[in-house]
Copies of this chain bind each other. A is one copy, B any other.
Amino acid sequence: MLTSYRLGIDLGGTSAKIAIVTGRSRIVREASVTTAGQPRPAAVVDAIAAAARSLVAGVKIAGVGVGVAGDIDFRRGLIRVSPNLGWRNVPLAALLKKRLKRNVIVDNDANVAAWGLFKTQAPAGVSNMIAVTLGTGVGGGVVIDGKLHRGATGTAGEIGHMTMVPEGRPCNCGNRGCLETYAGGFYIVRHVRERLAAGDASSLRKLFDTDPDQISPLSIYQAAKKGDSFARGIWAEAGAVLGTALGGLVYVLNPERVVLTGGVAQAKDFLLAPIRRIWRARAFRVPMRAAKVVVAENTAHIGVIGASLLEPRP
């Protein structure tokens, strides 16, 4: 049974989480390494490798998977660019393989989350799934016929930067009207602050006047829960744009399941209700009824678990 352990690494701009994961996706040991303020990839890789080596002592590891925020060349195990880490063209798989003496698979963190959610939470009968990570930004991963879809350059799943409004809100990516500018935590919070500054009435005003930094997806959710109509409107708008984007993808990909995850997804029904309302109004009922949209549960360790489940390409 020892051979079924795998090592999962979730490499982010603040820290790298490292875990030994069983064949049933249970974490048996874990560690963490700080990455913030550490721009030298070699130093971070050394620290991760050292932590991993002490974790795996006495345990047989079948493989190593890493999820990284950024543009990843899955085939070559290369980080093309990771703005969170401040890295560019880092051959992470090769660097880690040299230190750990094991094959290493590297993929984008949203792909890894999608794969983890598919492998550990998708009910039987689901073989096509879209996962949307609603955090500060919006990422995504697509599972087709039971496999994580990478595409030509490993960039598949960039749902957050689909153009929803050609002349819409400016996005940090450089374009306008990306889905992320309507459904990403950074933009939702900024939009709420702007509207409060402009005088919109809301129970969030006291918080805003005390300290604008207190405005967060969580506080906007809590205000909505207490009946604040401004906050409810914010979620209705985010949900409507998400519903339109995902409704289009359901027409094109016809999945059995669409999963929302990440901090912003914790608004749950305030997002799901407008999404479902838009889906119910779509003319073609068959694909819309076949696609169940849910918010993922128990996602605290999905980064390391998803990474541990990465498979070498065939």
Contacts and interface: CB of A to CB of B under 8 A. Distances in A.
Interface residues of A, number: 47
Interface in A227-278: 240, 244-245, 247-249, 251-256
B253 A163 contact: no
Given A175-B281, A244-B166, A287 B158 contact: yes
Copies in the assembly, this chain: 2
A196 B290 CA distance: 43
A80 B157 CA distance: 31
Given A163-B244, A281-B175, A286 B153 contact: yes
Interface string A96-137: 000000000000000000000000000000001000000000
A159 interface: yes
A138 to B, nearest CB: 11
A156 B174 CA distance: 31
A160 to B, nearest CB: 9
Interface string A277-293: 00001111011001100
B149 A144 contact: yes
A252 B159 contact: yes
Contacts of A17: none
A21 B251 CA distance: 31
A71 interface: yes
A140 interface: yes
A145 interface: yes
Contacts of A256: 152
Most chain B C-beta atoms within 10 Å of own C-beta, residue among A80, A150, A157, A166: A166
A159 B144 CA distance: 17
A254 B71 contact: no
Interface of A: 71, 80, 128, 140, 142, 144-145, 147, 149-159, 161-163, 166, 171, 173-175, 240, 244-245, 247-249, 251-256, 281-284, 286-287, 290-291
23 contacts: A80-B286, A142-B252, A144-B144, A144-B145, A145-B147, A149-B254, A151-B253, A151-B290, A152-B255, A152-B291, A154-B254, A156-B253, A156-B287, A158-B252, A158-B284, A159-B251, A159-B252, A161-B251, A161-B282, A161-B283, A161-B284, A162-B247, A163-B248
